[in-house]
Structure 1
Amino acid sequence: MAKRNPYDVIGVSKTSTANEIKKAYYQLAKQYHPDTNKDPSAKEKFVEIQHAYEILSDEQKRAQFDQYGNVDDSSRQGEHGFSGGFPGGFPYGFSGFGGESADFGGDIFDQIFQKFGGQSNARGASTGESVLAGTRLSFMEAIKGAKKSIVFVGIRGCAPCSGSGTKPGHKKTTCITCKGSGQMSLHRGGFQMFTNCPTCGGLGTSIAPEAKCTSCNGAGLVRERQSVTVDIPAGVEDGMKVRISGQGNASLSGQGPNGDLIVTVQVAGHPIFKRDGADVHIQATVPLHIAILGGSIRIPTVDGDVDLTIPPGTQPNERKVLRQRGAPNVSSRHGFGSSSRGDQWVTLEVEIPKSLTSEQKRLMMEAFGAKSTTSTSDGSSNYNKSDTSPRATSSDDTSGSSKTEGSSRTKKGQHGTMTN
């Protein structure tokens, strides 16, 4: 049979992208694969499709064909038609997981080819792929730890056939192409090379159409929705990842361990507490009299409310620390489950009264040795230390002032002038 233009075989143009060529190749390969198409001419068509894709998927070969109209074919694999893009062949034909034979999910399809492609023997054990998932925690769940149900779509062994891919009473048969070795040899430039069998994908066995499990269509694997309960350790931070061993995808070879489930944690904020690693920060209000005289205030912690001692003379924005009152420390130097904890930092805000009664003003004046000197338009007073200002007037003089005098004094007071 005369060789056809590879672009015509795949059904693409010279301007098609690599992804467009790959997509067209997948569709044709599924249509003409001998495992699913029993037409006598399907095998020959399948070989032609693979050879065309071998040229178009290789940048050098494609460029050579575009320039000269042909490609040096001396190194072609031979009658079995190994795939240039996926030399490992098609291990499970083109049936989907979970009975979705018409549409093989692109991600799983690629995953199988990546696992069984290349020069490795697919019959060897291979670890399943890890699955990425996420969960959202409240602030306190992140501090205390929590159990979360993680729902994801993953690959599992088919339960009805126990992962064998065959119906009850049936068995896999030795692949007639590779005689059970799982590999085929080819000669290139005087060298002998081995690649996975294109018929069985390197498994060394095949399943007759009538013997295939109807649940997985012979794949031995299904893609299904799963739910796993995960223990989130105490002290996790936003963006951390928790790995659960063996809860990921099943091995595509059916002989290796499952991959892992990797859960990314998203932690919500809190109206009172703020995190900085294992340390917790809050702001607390201190009444003026406690800031001056000392005392204690009640503050929240992640373990509940506690009393915080306030020493006399506490200044605004002073910080106090409560040791070992923060979050459990899960940093790399401590590891999960460590008893080490961060601290809680408290920033103190002194509460200044917005208004005072006459009695409160009098007591403040006596306490600080101040005398009223002027009255402002809003009824408040300016004060001056009586022991440092020989011009300070008594409160009796001020109380007898008229509104007009008060206004006059207010205006002068705003400019820092004291009355006589």
Structure 2
Amino acid sequence: MTLPKLRLSALLVAAATILAVPQMALAQANTCRWANDNECDEARYAGTGACESGTDANDCRAEAAAWQRLMAAVPDTVRAQLGSDTCRWANDLECDDPNFGGTGACSPGTDASDCRAMAIGGDNTCRFANDNECDEPGIGTGVCTSGTDVNDCRAVSFLRNRSNSCQTAFNGTCEEPGTGRGTCRPNTDTADCVGRQRPVEARDHFFGNDDRELVDVTQMPWRAVGLLSLGDGSCTGILIGPRLVATAAHCMEGEGGQPSKALSFRAGARGDTDLGSASIISSVVAPDYTENSAPPGGGNGNDWAILTLDRDLGTQVGFVRPYVLTKTDLAEIRTGRFLVSQAGYSWDTGSNLSGHVDCQVLQAYNDGSFIHTCDTTRGDSGSPIMILRDGEWRLIAVDSQFFDAQPPFPQMSSSHLAVDTRAFAEALRSAGALD
């Protein structure tokens, strides 16, 4: 997805203990290539994020002073609880201190700068505040620090810093501390504790209701789905043969347009366990892939990749054979009754596999792609969309990206596009994955 604002998170570098050092120590040098261009580029001061912390001193002098004033305005008792920025996730714009409604990824008192606004009840100090778009992490575009875009994020604030990463999420029972068995960490059992209704403003693509469930990774076809670890992050993939994995081409693109190094594939991953893992030794990416998106139906069938493992993992855990849509299938799609199922490692479920059973393909395009109603979100890139044919699960597409709502479906808050096997049938045949 292309956002209208510069995404800062990939460029953040943790700065040490902002609360504990004087102003002059914060602005250290002008060694960034963008230094002295009259624009602050350090993310810690809500700059563009193009420079690492401490390398754009002159341009960020005013922002550093403003940040000091914001910190000084925090009541002394609250400031003492905020502590320092010693957590590994400090200065990533997302509050991770559980004492201030954060994600819980940091220990209390170690994510001060990211949690400043949350600690005082929120404000509108982000440079993008009051632009009618929520820009906080998790619930918006992610270019504002947690709690600094309160007005724009009001409708979705109940989801701030929440996830479904508990291993018993989606079981219908709230198990966060203070309720039920209390076996989930705070803010990690959202669907069960807050409910499944999702306003359109949440931008997390659940079409008004989160219909996902935590699937059983010991059973087919879910056991063939796996977590793909890359040099620049992670995606979802699926075993389509003894040594072959299908995923999205954009998963293989790293920062700056450079190829991302594919490291490993963990089939049936759940938490720290899995049913088997293997290293990635080679990949075939759509030769005409480009990060530039066309309108739906305008040429997006190139977001696919086929990876080769170093051993026969598919023989061990099972695999899902690809299936190419026929004219009969395309006709059925037009009737509005073509049901499929999807599963992926969503951003909010971490290394737990969530799935949406019996979602619908809305419209198939001639470029080898279709839009669907499966509840996919960040992290689901490359996740399989499957169908039962003659009692066997078959792969028909890998999830790709999302767009604004497309006609004739105005009821959809957004349009989710997947690349189906029509687009890469020849590559599948060459790899021996298609009859």
* TM-score, length of structure 2 as denominator length: 0.22
* TM-score, length of structure 1 as denominator length: 0.23
Write 1 or 2 for the structure with the bigger share of helix. Answer: 1
**Which structure ranks higher in relative contact order (CA pairs < 8 Å, sequence separation ≥ 6)?**
1
Q: Which has the larger radius of gyration?
A: 1
Write 1 or 2 for the structure with the bigger share of strand. Answer: 1
